[in-house]
Structures are given as structure tokens and as C-alpha cells.
Amino acid sequence: MKQIFIDSAKTIIKEKGLKFVSAREISKISGYSYTTLYNYFENIDSLLTYVAVDYLEESYQEMLQALKGTNDIKKKIIVASKTYFSFMYNHPSIFKIVFINDFGVEVESMSYKLIPKVTILLRELLKDLKDRQITLDRDILFELISSSIHSKLMFAIFKRSPIKYDDLLMMIEKELNILIGDIK
């Protein structure tokens, strides 16, 4: 039943936007009374926490799909980073839910699920570099990559930058090539 409400909220977000998510709208989509929603979620913010987790899983699955057939570790890091960026860029409401929305107290019990899986995947990929020569510490490298991607998303989604989508992807790839170097 929880998943029905989560999916209904996701439908509203994708079709209309985050600001249209309400108990009444969710009940229209789900076919269940809006009071039933409150049997499963304390409030809309609680539901949105679960929606954020669901979206993060979607982005992770998209990254895994994009990585199929890629064996080169440097290429994997670039592909995963660009796929994640594209997912969030093309779904600004999802980005806002995951990174901007105030989840209230629900987030305390689910904070470990709200870690974007791109961070987990990126850390795993960087561990694969252990036998290779890199000039930066892996933790610093991880933070630089993560911060770069998220700052570009913030500026793009909130229209604070005139840089076009394709140019942002090229910038990410160029930065990663500089940070990772000539690793094969």
C-alpha cells in the first residue's frame, strides 16, 4: 500500500511538479481516500522521504544500466557521473526533493537510504584505483567529483547559469579527465 502512494506522488511530481503534491491529489491518482494515506505516512513530508529514496534507486539503476559493457575504470567513473548528472538535470523536481526538500523527523530514521547511490558507486569505482597511480587522495578525489557534479546541478536547475546541458556534460568529463589523469 505504501508503494501505491509513493508511485502516485511520483506521478504527480513527473506530470505536474512538486508543488502539486497533496493528500487530495495523491488520493485521486491512487484511488484511495486521502485519509488512508495517513495510516501509512505521518504527513506529506514523510511520504516525500520515501519518494526521494525511490528516485535515488531509479538513478542508481540508470547508472548501472549505463555501465554495462564498460570495463575501463576511468570510463566507468565518467559514465556514472554523467549518467547521474543527466538523470537529475532532466528531472529537476527529483533533485529538489532529494536535496532541497525538508523531510522533517522522518529523515532521521531513513538518512542512510537518502545517500545518493552515485556516491556509493563512485566510492566503489575509486577503490578499484587502489593498484594504480593517482595523484590525489581517493577521499579528496571523491569529494571534488561529488561537489562538482552537485554544484553544476544546483546552478543549472535553479537557472543560475547560462551554460547549456551538453556543455555541462563536457565540463564534467573534462574535469574528471584532469582529476583522474591517465589511469587506464
107-137: b or e for each residue (b if 16 or more CB lie within 10 Å)? beeeeeeeebbbbebbeebbeebeeeeeeee
CATH architecture of 49-180: Orthogonal Bundle (1.10)
1-23: pLDDT as tens digits = 999 999 999 999 988 988 899 99
User: Which one has a higher pLDDT value, 155 or 178?
Assistant: 155
Per domain, the residue ranges of the chain are 1-41, 49-180
What pTM was computed for the model? 0.79
Cell numbers linked to 134: 593517482
69: three-class secondary structure by DSSP: coil
Residue 130's pLDDT is what? Answer: 57
Residue 136's pLDDT is what? Answer: 59
User: Which one has a higher pLDDT value, 130 or 25?
Assistant: 25
Mean pLDDT to the nearest integer, 100-108 = 65
User: Which one has a higher pLDDT value, 120 or 145?
Assistant: 145
53-88: pLDDT as tens digits = 899 889 999 999 999 998 888 899 899 999 999 999
pLDDT over 70 at 121, yes or no: yes
Percent of residues, the chain, with pLDDT higher than 90: 37
116: three-class secondary structure by DSSP: coil
Domain 1-41 adopts which CATH fold? Arc Repressor Mutant, subunit A (1.10.10)
Residue 184's pLDDT is what? Answer: 47
Pick from 72, 87, 152: nearest CA to 117: 87
